[in-house]
Amino acid sequence: MNVAVDTNILAYAEGINDAARQRAAIDIIARLSPERTFLPVQALGELFAVLVKRGRRSRTDARHAILHWGDTFPLIESSSDVLLRAMDLAADHQLFLWDAIIIASAAEANCRLLLSEDLHDGFTWGGVTVTNPFAAESHPLLHKALA
């Protein structure tokens, strides 16, 4: 099963927030299949901004982190088709366009799950189900992806 990872999970793994959340994010990411885990380019762009602004990292250090993630997992490119689908998704479901681009990108890559703490847990669109990997009760598909 293909899984996409949202910005916040990557930010936690990079140490944004607290040490407990960082350990949890690293544990979840380490249990995912490297061949079946995808990173939307949009999420990496957002991560760069978070690392510089909230993490107070230099742009060079943030760039190194983004390159590391890109070397670790396959990337999902954004395209004009993804943008068109994302605009419909944003309009139909009152989402921010940037979040909709991540969901539409995940759908384009045939991801079944999108790991995110920021989006509505259980929301499904285009075959992609959003799940919060830190929720008290994990989605059954997350158990399968982590097995």
All domains of the chain, ordered by start, with CATH?
Answer: 3-146 (3.40.50.1010)
pLDDT for position 147: 80
State mean pLDDT over 104-120: 96
Phi and psi dihedrals of 22, rounded to 5? -60, -45
Longest dimension (CA), the chain: 39
pLDDT for position 62: 98
* 37: three-class secondary structure by DSSP: strand
pLDDT for position 21: 95
**Residue 136 CB neighbour total at 10 angstroms:** 5
Region of residue 131 (phi > 0: left; psi between -120 and 50: alpha; otherwise: beta) = beta
Of 123, 118, 121, 110, the C-alpha closest to 74 is 110
Q: What integer best gives the mean pLDDT of the chain? A: 96
The fraction of the chain above a pLDDT of 70, given in percent, is 100
Question: Does an H or E element contain 49, and which?
Answer: helix 41-53
pLDDT for position 26: 97
pLDDT for position 138: 86
Intra-chain end-to-end CA distance of the chain, in Å? 11
Question: Does an H or E element contain 129, and which?
Answer: strand 128-131
Phi and psi dihedrals of 123, rounded to 5? -65, 130
**Type of residue numbered 4:** A
Is the pLDDT at 57 greater than 90? The verdict is: yes
The fraction of the chain above a pLDDT of 90, given in percent, is 92
State mean pLDDT over 71-87: 96
Is the pLDDT at 95 greater than 90? The verdict is: yes
